Structure 1
Amino acid sequence: MSTQEKAVTVTRRLLIDGELIETDRTLASLNPATGEVYGFAPEAGVAEADAAIAAARRAFDTTDWATDVELRARCLRQLYQALRDNVEELRELTIAEVGATRNLTLGNQLEAPFEIVRYYADLLDDYAWTEDLGNVEVRGQQHHRWVEHEAAGVVAAIVAYNYPHQLALAKLAPALAAGCTIVLKGAPDTPLATLALGEIIAEHTDIPAGVVNVLSSSDVAVGKRMTTHPDVDVVTFTGSTPVGREIMAAASGTLKRVFLELGGKSAMILLDDADFTTAAMFAAFSIVTHAGQGCALTTRLLVPAAAHDQVAQLVAANFGHVRHGDPGDSSTYMGPLISERQRDKVDGLVQRAVADGATLVTGGEKLEPGFFYAPTLLANVDPDSEIAQEEVFGPVLVLIPYTDDDDAVRIANNSRYGLSGAVFGADSERAKAVARRVRAGTFSVNGGNYFHPDAPFGGYKQSGIGREMGRDGMAEFLERKTLAEIVP
């Protein structure tokens, strides 16, 4: 089948109340490596959002999903197996729609997120739903107290385009494990990837109708409806900080629990005793991972002033080895940005930075065909400048000199964000001491990888509220009820 033939076919369907449905409106999905239409998804409107929320409400209130732990564990294991069984179809979809490289789909773009589902299924095997607080004496009588954990209710989940499977499953799996029902909306740039999860759930699991509902829409009214509807109890969103602020404000009218995973402007600190060659390679290849479209990527490289030019040369040399192009080719390291709009945003930030005095060491240009952007290094960057403060979401690294450890920590913390960070240094204790002083929710010391299903992920300050993954990730979807009775 040709690309054009694929383009005239609605490739996926919405999942509402257990039924896979289409609409009379469609949302085009582009292949960012070519700029051509890849397929179409049904465009949900407010009516579909209302139907999905009603289904989720009914499933929570009238079925035993919220109380049947054994059923939830079984369904999560079915979902895990179905994802594994359909991995190759999902892989090709992810490469074509997301622009993810084939090698990335072996990790965090596709296969690694499957393990989140298995983690929560296994967690249910021995999760303590009740916490005993013991007895207290009140007015001469013994009172026994305990805390029960129960599902928070209906969840509205909205995910971003950059890692659609990771983001969806990091919300879906713990919400389902907790006993919640959910309405999941994919990003307008990558609707097919999220809808594919809905089809797998409908066709390969025993998850009851209405427990999971999956929408695709570019209509802002749909997102607004999901975040303001009185039948929604929890809102979880991954995306930009400005949109996160709007969602938090919208949800305040009904005092919903809001859980936000937002932007980042993370710093990597090279201490003066670091192996600059290794650290520069790590910094260079990290920032071009998925073309820089990662909220936790370290986009500011802080280096001792005396080593500034040396590190700039090392990073630039590593950028020269980055192979970009067809993401389906296993030899490709960097794929495209998601859209022409995003590429224009990245280029605008770079050009303004140069105009403001930053040194363009390499990159700073659009690459064709598709929405590629050259790996870009900007040196001698003012830590207060736009390029050092704003999230770029592209393959752009800024190099900032510092004087001593205190100055490095000050610059690292000079951000409204606090999602992640990294430090390299020969003295491990010194490096860890620096890491503890940086206000960020996740941190890598000498290349350590913190990202795993059992490890909480989230940020400080305007990088978000709450944590995904680990036990903390399920706690976001649980209420705590304190009970007491008089002991006879």
Structure 2
Amino acid sequence: MPENSPLQNFINNTYVDSTATTFFDIINPVDESVVGRSPASTAEDIDAAYAAARSAATVWGRTTPSARQQALLHIADAVEANRDRLIDAQVITTGQPRHLVSTEEVDTTADQLRFFAGSARVLEGRSSGEYLEGYNSQIRREPLGVVGQVTPWNYPLMIAAWKIGPALAAGNTVVLKPSDTTPLSTLLLAEIAAEFLPAGTFNVVLGDAGTGELVASHRTPSLVSITGSVRAGIEVAVAAARNLTRAHLELGGKAPVIVFEDADLDVAAETIATTGLFNAGQDCTAATRVLVAEGIHDVFVDKLLAEVAKVKVGDPDDEDVLYGPLNNPRQLERVAGFIERLPGHATIATGGSRIDRPGYFFEPTVITGLQQDDEAIQQEIFGPVITVQSFRDDDDALDKANDVDFSLSSSVWTSNHKRVLRFTRDLDFGAVWVNTHIPLTAEMPHGGFDGSGYGKDLSMYSLEEYTRVKHIMSATD
């Protein structure tokens, strides 16, 4: 591709020009420089990508689980071999610290692809047998065929792996639209994977929200999966429903982090500071809504502030940096807007402002004094902002924890085993961590309820969502 030319889509294992007449700049959030131009891919582009995927489905869908496993293992190895290229492609559009992208994105992507490589060979169903006299029944678990996927900007490479891993392992072909602000690492992933996949198996189309709507509303896919905002998830669900297409939605979060008197407060404060501010708080599972027992509220806030004061914000090449800039000017405006609209009873204990330098950097921020119905408690800020409330007793803690529209993740900090059992049962969230917050593993499902959407990423549950079940009955007499 000539220098300064617009980015291209990746269809049928090669880069192709978009038919778009509308283009937009891709911005480096560290210094606000233009690092590329993306097409707003058209309906014609989406048709071409789905046609390629549909053609490839008859090839890839009939490969053996062993062959799919080997392909995914090769892709995982190639991801690690191209570590520096992937880091460069991602950092220039996210501003994330290079050490974070290396471990949390490249290493995790390779690991999760290897998990799904293995999972391709262990799909299960009811055993063949005579469940009705004179007839034999068996179950076939088959790929859906073609799937459409839309990924966000906060973890572009890793979440792309969450999408393509189970889809490819189950024998599906993919049309994926990455975020408009962070497409480069996803494009490179498709290029790397192409060596090991039939042409048309993994296609990437670039564009804005309008392009995403075209991907979701197309008649070809049997499932559309998105990780994104609640607004975007609703739009995808509506678009998919018009074609009776399955939808898989991993949306926002507002994780409660419940700290009791009998918790290790030093460990809790250190962990919450890190997991609340990690990736600039741009994580739907981030520990940003802290609920602390009344009797230790002030002590815990002091401990938390001491840990937050240690957090370093800065450029991607600095190995001591916990987080870099917010991803884009819209997100910076969103986070700043929450601060500007804080009610009078709230207190900004630290931070609260944009950092005075080029780029979309925002201070580590802690807010106290908020009430349950305040906007900053009820809505996802998606920035480096931690709120701290107090609760009276166990019932009050549960009521406040569950009193939001999101149900993705949560954590409880206590040494009381009976309390652990009660809270892990009664917290209305898809994940509950005990005396920790945010770790994920490929073997366990990730996904929420209610306003956080439905469907699971990771684990065998995710793989099963990318399959359909067929009953075959044969007369035996």
For the criterion TM > 0.5, the same-fold answer is yes
In 2, Cα distance between equivalents of 1:22 and 1:457: 35
Contact 1:442 1:450 in 2 (8 A): no
Contact 1:10 1:42 in 2 (8 A): no
**Which region of structure 1 is more displaced relative to structure 2, 105-114 or 43-52?**
105-114
Change (3 A) 1:252 1:123: same
1:96 corresponds in structure 2 to 92
1:179 corresponds in structure 2 to 171
2:111 corresponds in structure 1 to 115
Say if 2:138 is the partner of 1:146: yes
Per-residue CA distance 1:208-256 (angstroms, 9 max, x = gap)? 11111111112x3322221111111110000001111111111111110
2:204 is aligned with what amino acid? V
Change (3 A) 1:10 1:288: farther
1:53 is aligned with what amino acid? Y
Say if 2:215 is the partner of 1:215: no
Say if 2:389 is the partner of 1:400: yes
Per-residue CA distance 1:63-119 (angstroms, 9 max, x = gap)? 253443233222112211111110111112222211111221233233212211111
Per-residue CA distance 1:325-378 (angstroms, 9 max, x = gap)? 11221111121100122111101101212x342111111000122101101111
**Equivalent of residue 28 in structure 1, options 15, 25, 31:** 25
CA drift of 1:448 comes to 6.1
**Which region of structure 1 is more displaced relative to structure 2, 34-43 or 460-469?**
34-43
Contact 2:79 2:106 in 1 (8 A): no
Contact 1:418 1:441 in 2 (8 A): yes
Q: Map 1:31-42 onto structure 2 (within 5 A).
A: 31-42=28-39
Q: How many residues align?
A: 474
2:188 corresponds in structure 1 to 196
In 2, Cα distance between equivalents of 1:448 and 1:64: 38
1:411 corresponds in structure 2 to 400
Normalised TM-score (structure 2): 0.95
**Which region of structure 1 is more displaced relative to structure 2, 443-452 or 459-468?**
443-452
Say if 2:64 is the partner of 1:80: no
Q: Secondary structure at the match of 1:254?
A: coil
In 1, Cα distance between equivalents of 2:268 and 2:370: 19
2:405 is aligned with what amino acid? R
Per-residue CA distance 1:306-330 (angstroms, 9 max, x = gap)? 2222222111111111111112211
Q: Secondary structure at the match of 1:131?
A: coil
Per-residue CA distance 1:437-462 (angstroms, 9 max, x = gap)? 10111111011665111111100111
2:476 is aligned with what amino acid? V
CA drift of 1:42 comes to 4.5
Say if 2:40 is the partner of 1:50: no
CA drift of 1:435 comes to 2.4
Contact 1:7 1:37 in 2 (8 A): no
1:452 corresponds in structure 2 to 441
Q: Secondary structure at the match of 2:381?
A: coil
CA drift of 1:482 comes to 1.4
1:379 corresponds in structure 2 to 368
Contact 1:34 1:369 in 2 (8 A): yes
Per-residue CA distance 1:379-408 (angstroms, 9 max, x = gap)? 011011100000000000111110001110
1:3 corresponds in structure 2 to none
2:298 corresponds in structure 1 to 309
In 2, Cα distance between equivalents of 1:466 and 1:169: 16
1:360 is aligned with what amino acid? I
Q: Secondary structure at the match of 1:295?
A: coil
RMSD over aligned Cα, in angstroms?
1.9
1:17 corresponds in structure 2 to 12
Contact 1:80 1:118 in 2 (8 A): yes
Contact 1:270 1:424 in 2 (8 A): yes
Quick one: percent identity of the two aligned structures? 32
Contact 2:261 2:295 in 1 (8 A): no
Contact 2:60 2:198 in 1 (8 A): no
2:350 is aligned with what amino acid? T
1:295 corresponds in structure 2 to 284
Contact 1:362 1:375 in 2 (8 A): yes
2:61 corresponds in structure 1 to 65
Say if 2:264 is the partner of 1:275: yes
Q: Secondary structure at the match of 2:205?
A: strand
In 1, Cα distance between equivalents of 2:440 and 2:453: 17
2:331 corresponds in structure 1 to 342
CA drift of 1:131 comes to 2.6
**Which region of structure 1 is more displaced relative to structure 2, 315-324 or 413-422?**
315-324
Contact 2:368 2:389 in 1 (8 A): yes
In 2, Cα distance between equivalents of 1:389 and 1:449: 20
Contact 1:29 1:192 in 2 (8 A): no
**Which region of structure 1 is more displaced relative to structure 2, 473-482 or 38-47?**
38-47
CA drift of 1:291 comes to 0.3
CA drift of 1:32 comes to 0.9
CA drift of 1:433 comes to 2.4
In 2, Cα distance between equivalents of 1:136 and 1:109: 47
Say if 2:251 is the partner of 1:255: no
**Which region of structure 1 is more displaced relative to structure 2, 416-425 or 308-317?**
308-317
Say if 2:120 is the partner of 1:131: no
In 1, Cα distance between equivalents of 2:360 and 2:439: 30
Normalised TM-score (structure 1): 0.93
2:348 corresponds in structure 1 to 360
2:345 is aligned with what amino acid? G
In 2, Cα distance between equivalents of 1:421 and 1:481: 37
Structure 2: gaps spanning 5 or more residues:
none
In 1, Cα distance between equivalents of 2:363 and 2:405: 27
Per-residue CA distance 1:275-328 (angstroms, 9 max, x = gap)? 222211111111110000001112210001122222221111111111111122
**Which region of structure 1 is more displaced relative to structure 2, 297-306 or 169-178?**
297-306
In 2, Cα distance between equivalents of 1:449 and 1:44: 35
In 1, Cα distance between equivalents of 2:211 and 2:91: 27
In 2, Cα distance between equivalents of 1:366 and 1:178: 45
1:483 is aligned with what amino acid? I
CA drift of 1:184 comes to 0.6
CA drift of 1:465 comes to 0.8
